[in-house]
């Protein structure tokens, strides 16, 4: 029966280790999809296993291994084939051809492709009909007569050359449209590729990890997600012998040995541990070393001390500790693998800007298709030939589509990304630029983001009084009174009972910036002593260390013995530091004002109050004591034994306490206050202790002074916290253990109800659940993180933000943005930039769309009033892809209007990038004025050449007939077909120039949506040059020789530039007046509701 159970257990392990391979056929695709979704949901749950709890012999049986000999080589090979290599699966990549295809056929391109296909279709039909007509001269004449004049007079006919010209014109337009789509698509793809290269070039800006705590382990940061595992080896027992095996070849059941400085090669359960500590910062984000033992200490596998996790690093063992363990999980089945697989399996939703652009594309496409089809039907009803109606349809589509706008958006986002990089925000994906500006909730890690990521001495308690230390980032005010004997004695013990070291050749480097080796607490104490008293190395030279007992989790103290620094005193000095309660229990005296006194109950009560007070501040507190060893009992050269201790560890003299904290960054409180004024909710999500997390949250303003948590209320009223009605509080601190028991609805209530929230002791899966809950509450969520544990939340968030200095490579891979300085304040700067680009994109789109009306209306009048066409399709393309591009991009350089961080985040459901007010403003107001300017110029030029407005109405059929070469104008002058077309193309050029002239005013008024232009100023020199650019380009197109053949652009008389000028002035005055009324009106007024886009 037992053998059967072991067999079942072994089978279960094999099943757990089988890699995720898609073996389904196409007909099983749905089943496979559901299975993957189910697996993803499983990964979101807390890890459940009993591998750390079951007796060790049962574990050996389950894994079919032997603790002494390990696996056989043959069995290891078999398991390697079965389970795959001990490495994480790489994430999928998007092929370049798919990226190119999206640019070529996405967005507005599909409309232009339809237009081009219609042109080619018309060309094909015309060509076929002309071929038949040429074969039969009678059919030819009848066809031409009917086509051109709508009559049956077969006496009128045109030549084959003329017919060929008509047909080729349709082919020409189709080729132009196809070329526009291809060129625009290539430009967008090039721009995106260029942006990716820019982001790639920024990689050298990402600093290397130089955290002193991680000095000897930084070469093993996890990069397996990129499948770039270094050629590391691990010591493994195989066939009864110790071998060095590549980490990728380690399998479940292997017996491995680790020592200080090693990377843990897989998830292992420890069998033996001698003082081994590990750095779990890549998993938890917290840098405190964790002791590893052979006994199970917690039911939660992530909290127990008898498991060492894949890719973490042995720390204290660098000198003393070693460990031996059995491999329980490898590759994708490790905790690291589960996190990586969860992160890669999460689908990245559409970014807010992508949704806005999709909404805009659908809106404009709907308008274009509606108008195009409507006037196609109207044309047929009015008796136009169906091919002519197709030409009208193409013209209206081309006029509606802002061909260069998506490229403009890409360029604007790229410019902002470059600007953000200069402010320490490295954006990996362009769309993340705006997403940060849309953020309504920031879930921030604590360590290194809100804090300085270095332990610092914050308080010292001695002589029964508490001294506040300088915890500022540069500690320029760090001056201490060394006249106090007790303080000097406290500094001496802190400096010599300390294993931290400054690296060599750093004498000119400021103390706080020097790189060190050692424990975080020791480093903090050493730097404090260096700042307070001077050269620590000199202090240690004067007090040469004779022996020491390092700190360990059992004793909870460190002790060292030193030679005296007084020449006349040859006695040894004992120095001890450790957990305050352990230290004071070993003391019988206390030093007060330089004098040794018996340790009384009053002293103990003062100690307890100070210890409790400092502990409630979330600070790590250490006690210090010393003792002078009697010279007669411990003479010079005495052989001290640290194994069988032969010196006193009790009856010591208590000196005082020192507390340490990872202090907040100086800029963080102001940044949090800015977020609050901008309507952004800041939530702390950390793996640290709730007391520490709460203390930091209060110090930076995440929990404001006026708001109490249920625990605060309970303490104030002196009642149990269970009796407090938590719903009446505005702030709360949620422990990970509480979160584990919550339902989705309960978590959603907490996230939605409380304004100020701290989540402490959270696991990676819980951080992901918090992000999902915020999103269910309608928030656009930004998440910061630095460890591998943060990667699922970074991937799920609307924008993931990784730390550039302390961040693991996995977190950087999962994130959309990297903070080069690990500073929360940089996020706020990024939010401001993101909001600014959204505002500026609105302005750019408003500017671009305005010219749609003067581009569409000529085709509508052409159909409805039967006048000669005022503006050609190719000329429209010259506006959209020529004169409008630079000015539209220049608006990305516009400065904010001042209220950008004083208004709440935009509501994605209501505040669209393109809304009905923007359409109404661009089309119904400014666009109509521009169309009026164009038609006024058109009629002026026509009148100047003899065709008064009334004569033009109903003239189109004769105007476009090649058979009519004696058409009379208003003064009786006769016009041939070719001369009429020269005049028509001259009008096209003039209409084009008039649009450029009114776009001057449109560009200037687009600089601001509310402010006066006088207040906003004209300091945007890119925009100022844009006005000059579009003018020069328009002049070039109008006067360059040869363009009359290629683009149908004919030279203009100089004064024909001026008819549109009054309309340009009118636009400027109109909008300045509108904005003046807007500023003077109350929020929500009629003017704001109808015109503030």
For residue 1027, pLDDT over 50 is answered with yes
Q: What sign results for the dihedral spanned by CA atoms 980, 983, 987, 993?
A: positive
What residues are annotated to the active site? 445
Q: What is the distance between the alpha carbons of residues 157 and 152, in angstroms, rounded to a whole number? A: 11
pLDDT category, 31, cuts 50, 70, 90? very low
CA distances from 536 to 585, 876, 949 (A): 29, 76, 95
Question: Which residue do the tokens 């100089």 mark?
Answer: 1054
Q: Which residue has the higher pLDDT, 411 or 191?
A: 411
What would the mean pLDDT of 380-396 be, rounded to a whole number? 76
Show contacts of 1052-1059: CB within 8 Å, 24+ apart: 1052/986, 1052/989, 1052/990, 1052/993, 1056/937, 1056/940, 1056/941, 1056/990, 1056/993, 1057/993, 1057/997, 1059/933, 1059/936, 1059/937, 1059/940, 1059/994
Q: Is the separation of the CB atoms in 487 and 462 below 8 Å?
A: yes
The pLDDT, as a whole number, for residue 370 is: 85
Give me the sheet containing 307-308, strands edge to edge: 241-246, 233-238, 255-259, 322-329, 267-274, 307-308
Give the 3-state secondary structure of residue 324.
strand
What would the mean pLDDT of 886-908 be, rounded to a whole number? 87
DSSP 439: -
- How many CB atoms sit inside 10 A of residue 584's CB? 20
Q: Which of 138, 133, 139 is nearest to 163 (CA)?
A: 133
The pLDDT, as a whole number, for residue 497 is: 94
State pLDDT tens for residues 920-930. Answer: 999 989 999 99
For residue 228, pLDDT over 80 is answered with no
Q: What is the distance between the alpha carbons of residues 865 and 248, in angstroms, rounded to a whole number? A: 78
Q: Which of 761, 767, 709 is nearest to 738 (CA)?
A: 761
Question: Which residue do the tokens 């007669």 mark?
Answer: 632
Token pair recorded at residue 593: 């004002």
Q: Which residue has the higher pLDDT, 12 or 108?
A: 108
The pLDDT, as a whole number, for residue 47 is: 65
Q: What is the distance between the alpha carbons of residues 377 and 369, in angstroms, rounded to a whole number? A: 12
Cα angle 198, 203, 204; round to 5: 115
The pLDDT, as a whole number, for residue 286 is: 61
DSSP 317: G
CA distances from 169 to 116, 173, 867, 873, 1046 (A): 13, 6, 20, 12, 11
Percent residues over pLDDT 70 in the chain:
83
What would the mean pLDDT of 504-533 be, rounded to a whole number? 87
Q: Is 200 exposed, middle or buried (0-12, 13-18, 19+ CB in 10 A)?
A: exposed
Strand spans (E) along 773-816: 781-785, 799-803
Q: Which of 806, 777, 813, 685 is nearest to 339 (CA)?
A: 813
What would the mean pLDDT of 34-39 be, rounded to a whole number? 49
DSSP 21: -
The pLDDT, as a whole number, for residue 1073 is: 93
User: Of 262-276, 389-403, 551-565, 1055-1069, which one has max mean pLDDT?
Assistant: 1055-1069
For residue 436, pLDDT over 90 is answered with no
3-state secondary structure 561-622: EEECCCCCCCCEEEEEEECHHHHHHCEEEEEECCEEEECCHHHHHHHHHHHHHHHHCCCEEE
The pLDDT, as a whole number, for residue 441 is: 95
What backbone phi and psi angles, to 5 degrees, belong to 957?
-60, -45
CA distances from 556 to 291, 550, 581, 644 (A): 12, 9, 10, 18
Token pair recorded at residue 308: 């060492």
Token pair recorded at residue 1007: 């600089």
Non-local CB neighbours of 859 within 8 Å, separated by 6+ positions: 375, 392, 395, 396, 399, 869, 871
Q: Is the separation of the CB atoms in 196 and 208 below 8 Å?
A: no
pTM for this structure? 0.74
The pLDDT, as a whole number, for residue 4 is: 42
Q: What is the distance between the alpha carbons of residues 451 and 729, in angstroms, rounded to a whole number? A: 26
Q: What is the distance between the alpha carbons of residues 529 and 521, in angstroms, rounded to a whole number? A: 12
User: Of 55-59, 803-807, 934-938, which one has max mean pLDDT?
Assistant: 934-938
Question: Which residue do the tokens 């991680």 mark?
Answer: 214
The pLDDT, as a whole number, for residue 689 is: 84
Q: What is the distance between the alpha carbons of residues 385 and 389, in angstroms, rounded to a whole number? A: 6
Show contacts of 712-718: CB within 8 Å, 24+ apart: none
CA distances from 858 to 696, 863, 931 (A): 65, 9, 8
229: left (phi over 0), alpha (psi -120 to 50) or beta: beta
SS3 content of the chain, % helix, strand, coil (to 5): 55, 15, 35
Rg (CA), the chain: 39
For residue 629, pLDDT over 50 is answered with yes
The pLDDT, as a whole number, for residue 171 is: 66
User: Of 503-517, 547-561, 695-709, 818-832, which one has max mean pLDDT?
Assistant: 695-709
For residue 560, pLDDT over 90 is answered with yes
Q: Is the separation of the CB atoms in 680 and 699 below 8 Å?
A: no
Beta bridge partners of 759: 685, 734
Q: What sign results for the dihedral spanned by CA atoms 93, 95, 96, 102?
A: negative
What would the mean pLDDT of 623-650 be, rounded to a whole number? 91
Dmax (CA) of the chain: 139
Task: Specify the range with the lowest mean pLDDT, choosing from 182-191, 755-764, 841-850, 867-876.
Answer: 182-191
For residue 279, pLDDT over 50 is answered with yes
State pLDDT tens for residues 757-801. Answer: 999 988 877 888 999 999 999 999 999 887 777 778 888 889 999
For residue 142, pLDDT over 50 is answered with no
State pLDDT tens for residues 148-178. Answer: 434 344 334 444 444 444 455 556 667 777 7
The pLDDT, as a whole number, for residue 287 is: 61
User: Of 104-113, 216-225, 381-390, which one has max mean pLDDT?
Assistant: 381-390
- DSSP string of 1055-1078, one letter each residue: GGGSTTHHHHHHHHHHHHHHHHHH
CA atoms within 13 A on the CB side of 915: 16
State pLDDT tens for residues 50-104. Answer: 888 899 889 999 999 988 889 999 999 999 999 888 887 766 666 777 777 777 7
- DSSP string of 723-757, one letter each residue: GS-GGG-SEEEEEHHHHHH--HHHHHHHHHH-SEE
The pLDDT, as a whole number, for residue 877 is: 80
The pLDDT, as a whole number, for residue 392 is: 74
CA distances from 712 to 689, 693, 755 (A): 17, 14, 16
Q: What mean pLDDT value characterizes the chain?
A: 81
Q: What is the distance between the alpha carbons of residues 249 and 119, in angstroms, rounded to a whole number? A: 62
Q: Is the separation of the CB atoms in 500 and 525 below 8 Å?
A: yes
State pLDDT tens for residues 458-502. Answer: 999 999 999 998 888 777 666 788 889 999 999 999 999 998 999
Domains located in the chain, CATH noted: 2-91+212-345 (2.70.150.10), 98-202 (no CATH), 352-418+838-1091 (1.20.1110.10), 428-451+666-831 (3.40.50.1000), 456-473+482-661 (3.40.1110.10)
Q: Which of 352, 442, 409 is nearest to 830 (CA)?
A: 442
What would the mean pLDDT of 729-756 be, rounded to a whole number? 91
Give the 3-state secondary structure of residue 236.
strand
Q: Which residue has the higher pLDDT, 189 or 897?
A: 897
Q: Is the separation of the CB atoms in 861 and 935 below 8 Å?
A: yes
Q: What is the distance between the alpha carbons of residues 511 and 964, in angstroms, rounded to a whole number? A: 93
The pLDDT, as a whole number, for residue 932 is: 96
The pLDDT, as a whole number, for residue 160 is: 43
Q: Which of 289, 243, 249 is nearest to 265 (CA)?
A: 249
Q: Is the separation of the CB atoms in 320 and 289 below 8 Å?
A: no
**Which secondary-structure segment (H or E) carries 75?**
helix 73-83
Give the 3-state secondary structure of residue 908.
coil
For residue 20, pLDDT over 70 is answered with no
State pLDDT tens for residues 939-964. Answer: 999 999 999 999 999 898 889 888 88
Beta bridge partners of 547: 561
DSSP 664: B
Token pair recorded at residue 419: 């600007």
What backbone phi and psi angles, to 5 degrees, belong to 602?
-60, -40
């Amino acid at each position: 029966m037992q053998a059967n159970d072991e067999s079942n257990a072994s089978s279960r392990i094999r099943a757990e280790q089988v890699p995720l391979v898609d073996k389904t056929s196409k007909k099983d695709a749905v089943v496979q999809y559901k299975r993957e979704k189910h697996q993803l949901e499983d990964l979101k749950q807390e890890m459940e296993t009993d591998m750390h709890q079951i007796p060790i012999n049962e574990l050996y049986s389950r894994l079919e291994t032997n603790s002494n000999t390990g696996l056989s080589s043959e069995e290891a090979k078999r398991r390697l084939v079965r389970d795959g290599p001990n490495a994480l699966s790489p994430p999928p990549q998007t092929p370049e051809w798919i990226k190119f295809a999206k640019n070529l056929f996405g967005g507005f391109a599909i409309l232009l492709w339809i237009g081009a296909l219609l042109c080619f279709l018309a060309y094909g039909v015309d060509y076929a009909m002309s071929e038949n007509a040429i074969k039969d001269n009678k059919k030819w004449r009848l066809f031409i007569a009917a086509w051109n004049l709508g009559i049956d007079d077969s006496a009128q006919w045109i030549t084959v050359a003329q017919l060929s010209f008509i047909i080729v014109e349709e082919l020409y337009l189709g080729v132009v449209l196809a070329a526009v789509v291809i060129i625009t698509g290539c430009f967008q793809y090039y721009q995106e590729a260029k942006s990716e290269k820019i982001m790639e070039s920024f990689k050298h800006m990402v600093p290397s990890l130089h955290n002193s705590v991680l000095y000897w382990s930084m070469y093993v940061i996890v990069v397996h997600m990129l499948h770039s595992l270094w050629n590391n080896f691990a010591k493994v027992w195989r066939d009864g012998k110790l071998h060095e095996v590549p980490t990728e070849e380690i399998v479940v059941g292997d017996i491995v040995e680790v020592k200080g400085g090693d990377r843990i090669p897989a998830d292992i359960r420890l069998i033996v541990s001698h003082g081994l500590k590990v750095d779990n910062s890549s998993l938890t984000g917290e840098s405190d070393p964790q002791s590893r033992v052979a006994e199970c200490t917690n039911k939660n596998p992530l909290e127990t001390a008898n498991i060492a996790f894949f890719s973490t690093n042995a720390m204290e063992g660098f000198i003393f500790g070693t460990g031996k363990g059995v491999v329980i999980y490898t590759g994708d089945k490790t905790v690291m693998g589960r996190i990586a697989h969860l992160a890669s399996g999460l689908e990245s939703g559409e970014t807010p800007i992508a949704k806005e652009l999709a909404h805009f594309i659908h809106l404009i496409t709907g308008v274009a298709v509606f108008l195009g089809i409507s006037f196609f039907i109207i044309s047929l009803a009015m008796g136009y030939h169906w091919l002519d109606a197709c030409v009208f349809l193409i013209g209206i589509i081309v006029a509606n589509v802002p061909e260069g706008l998506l490229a403009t958006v890409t360029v604007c986002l790229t410019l902002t990304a470059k600007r953000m990089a200069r402010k320490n925000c490295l954006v990996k994906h362009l769309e993340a630029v705006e997403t940060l500006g849309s953020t309504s909730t920031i879930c921030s890690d604590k360590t290194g983001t809100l804090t300085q990521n270095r332990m610092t001495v914050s308080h010292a308690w001695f002589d029964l009084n508490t001294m506040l230390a300088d915890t500022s980032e540069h500690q320029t005010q760090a001056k201490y009174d060394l006249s106090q004997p007790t303080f000097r004695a406290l500094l001496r013990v802190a400096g010599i009972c300390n294993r931290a070291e400054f690296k060599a050749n750093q004498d000119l480097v400021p103390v706080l910036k020097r790189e060190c080796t050692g424990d975080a607490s020791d480093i903090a104490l050493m730097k404090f002593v260096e700042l307070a008293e001077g050269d620590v190395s000199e202090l240690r030279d004067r007090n040469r260390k004779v022996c020491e007992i390092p700190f360990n989790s059992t004793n909870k103290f460190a002790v060292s013995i030193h030679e005296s620094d007084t020449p006349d005193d040859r006695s040894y000095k004992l120095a001890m530091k450790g957990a305050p309660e352990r230290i004071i229990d070993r003391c019988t005296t206390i030093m007060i004002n330089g004098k040794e006194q018996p340790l009384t109950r009053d002293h103990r009560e003062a100690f307890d109050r100070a210890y409790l007070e400092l502990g409630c501040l979330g600070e790590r507190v250490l006690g210090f004591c010393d003792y002078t060893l009697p010279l007669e009992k411990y003479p010079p050269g005495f052989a001290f034994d640290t194994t069988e201790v032969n010196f006193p560890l009790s009856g010591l003299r208590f000196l005082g306490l020192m507390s340490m904290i990872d202090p907040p960054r100086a800029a963080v409180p102001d940044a949090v206050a800015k977020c609050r004024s901008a309507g952004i909710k800041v939530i702390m999500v950390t793996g640290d202790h709730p007391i520490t997390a709460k203390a930091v949250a209060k110090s930076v303003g995440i929990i404001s002074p006026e708001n109490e948590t249920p625990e605060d209320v309970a303490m104030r009223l002196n009642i149990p916290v269970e009796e407090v009605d938590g719903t009446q509080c505005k702030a709360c601190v949620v422990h990970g253990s509480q979160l584990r028991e919550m339902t989705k609805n309960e978590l959603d209530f907490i996230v939605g109800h409380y304004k100020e929230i701290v989540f402490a002791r959270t696991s990676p899966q819980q951080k992901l659940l918090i992000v999902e809950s915020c999103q269910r509450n309608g928030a656009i969520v930004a998440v910061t993180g630095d460890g591998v544990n943060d990667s699922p939340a970074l991937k799920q968030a609307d924008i993931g933000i990784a730390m550039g200095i302390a961040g693991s490579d996995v977190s950087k891979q999962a994130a959309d943005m990297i903070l080069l300085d690990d500073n929360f304040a940089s996020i706020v700067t990024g939010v401001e930039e993101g909001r600014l680009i959204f505002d500026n994109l609105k302005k750019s789109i408003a500017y671009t769309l305005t010219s749609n009306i003067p581009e569409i209306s000529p085709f509508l009048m052409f159909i409805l009033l039967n006048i000669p066409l005022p503006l050609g399709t190719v000329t429209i393309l010259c506006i959209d892809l020529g004169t409008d591009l630079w000015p539209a991009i220049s608006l990305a350089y516009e400065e904010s209007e001042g209220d950008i961080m004083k208004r709440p985040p935009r509501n994605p459901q209501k505040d669209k990038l393109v809304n009905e007010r923007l359409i109404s403003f661009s089309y119904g107001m400014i666009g109509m004025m521009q169309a009026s300017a164009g038609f006024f110029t058109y009629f002026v030029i026509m009148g100047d050449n003899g065709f008064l407005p009334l004569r033009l109405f109903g003239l189109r059929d004769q105007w476009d007939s090649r058979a009519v070469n004696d058409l009379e104008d208003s003064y009786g002058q006769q016009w041939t077909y070719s001369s009429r077309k020269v005049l028509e193309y001259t009008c096209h050029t003039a209409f084009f120039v008039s649009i450029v002239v009114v776009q001057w005013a449109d560009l200037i008024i687009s600089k601001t949506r509310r402010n006066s232009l006088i207040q906003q100023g004209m300091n945007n020199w890119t925009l100022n040059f844009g006005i000059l650019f579009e003018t020069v380009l328009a002049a070039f197109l109008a006067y360059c020789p040869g363009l009359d053949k290629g683009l149908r652009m004919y030279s203009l008389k100089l004064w024909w530039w001026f008819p549109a000028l009054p309309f340009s002035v009118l636009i400027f005055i109109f909008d300045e007046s509108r904005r003046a009324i807007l500023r003077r009106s109350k929020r929500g007024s009629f003017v704001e509701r109808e015109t503030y886009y």
